[in-house]
Amino acid sequence: MIALLSANTAKASGQRWEIACALAEGKPVLPVFIGDNRYIPPELKGRRGYVWRWDTIAGFIDRL
């Protein structure tokens, strides 16, 4: 799952639920910041967020 994290993620209960479900199911999750946002939701605590770059996205997909 590529989790796009925006300034609205903090109050996006549906998005945060989807992230929590993916993690509970053991799915790989790549947190990607959108714009100037650097918010990491509690569901992704301890994980590094990434700035959107095609090589980062491609590397994540290649590792799947």
Per-residue pLDDT of the chain (64 residues; tens, 9 = 90+): 999 999 999 999 999 999 999 999 999 999 999 988 899 999 999 999 999 999 999 999 999 9
Q: pTM here?
A: 0.89
Quote the CA–CA distance of 58 and 60 in Å, as a whole number.
5
The domain ranges of the chain are 2-63
Q: What are phi and psi of 30, to 5 degrees?
A: -110, 110
Dihedral angle sign, alpha carbons of residues 17, 20, 26, 30: positive
CA-based nearest residue to 16, from 38, 39, 34, 48: 39
How far is CA 38 from each of CA 22, 27, 45, 50, rounded to the nearest angstrom? 21, 22, 13, 9
